[in-house]
Amino acid sequence: DAGVIQSPRHEVTEMGQEVTLRCKPISGHDYLFWYRQTMMRGLELLIYFNNNVPIDDSGMPEDRFSAKMPNASFSTLKIQPSEPRDSAVYFCASSRAGLAENTGELFFGEGSRLTVL
Amino acid sequence: QQQVKQSPQSLIVQKGGISIINCAYENTAFDYFPWYQQFPGKGPALLIAIRPDVSEKKEGRFTISFNKSAKQFSLHIMDSQPGDSATYFCAASITGGGNKLTFGTGTQLKVEL
């Protein structure tokens, strides 16, 4: 399996521009997560989906952020308009539903490094 | 609200030494505690995990110690190697909670020759 695939790997943009990050989860996984990583705050959960339906978006910082999952093999995270404080590495992760005695392991992509000037 | 607190922020250990990273949690509903390892330019990957019905779990050179009453758990890396140099994250989740993990802030480990 190719693993979780994210694009772009690097994005440099100017303040006010729209940014779209993309994710292809592992086939057969029914959970998809978007995390943001910064030095100050570590890994923060932004939103997660189960079977393409958003379950918890309480981590989305503000209305400038939105996420969609139109089908089981594709998700986007959009920032509009972008601001310098959005600069971070954004990770997508996917997992299968956990068994009764286990919680599903999260498989992370390699991340999208965003720099907003 | 920081539900999982991790320390230290960074750690330097000599080759062959023991690396110890500590985490504390607040939510007593957490019942799954994994550790993730992240190399530069890569996403985090599951290293080892424990449930609170045991006090210790060992996999090779990596051991998790768990203290339910203190709401603390730690990662011990025995015989630390330069290849162990990475960022380590503790995490916690609730079974049935949708595989949603709450991460600590991470520890940058450097193992020197």
Q: What is the pLDDT of residues A40-94, one digit of tens each?
A: 888 999 999 999 999 999 999 889 999 999 999 999 999 999 999 999 999 999 9
Q: Which residues of A touch B104 (CB under 8 A)?
A: 42
Six-digit token pair at A45?
């959960």
A53 touches chain B (CB under 8 A): no
What's the rounded Cα separation, in Å, for the pair A59 and A33? 11
Chain pair A-B, CB pairs under 8 angstroms: 63
Tell me what the pLDDT averaged over chain B comes to. Answer: 93
Residue A100, pLDDT > 60, answer no
* Closest residue to B106, CB basis, from A42, A103, A110: A42
What percentage of chain B has pLDDT greater than the value 70? Answer: 98
What's the rounded Cα separation, in Å, for the pair B68 and B89? 19
Residue B98, pLDDT > 80, answer no
- At B97 the pLDDT is 72
* Closest residue to B99, CB basis, from A43, A95, A109: A95
* Closest residue to A103, CB basis, from B99, B103, B106: B99
Where does the pLDDT of residue A103 fall: very low under 50, low under 70, confident under 90, or very high at 90 and above? low
- At A101 the pLDDT is 47
- Nearest CA to A103 out of B14, B49, B25, B70 is that of B49
DSSP state at residue A85: G
For A36, the enclosing helix (H) or strand (E) is strand A31-38
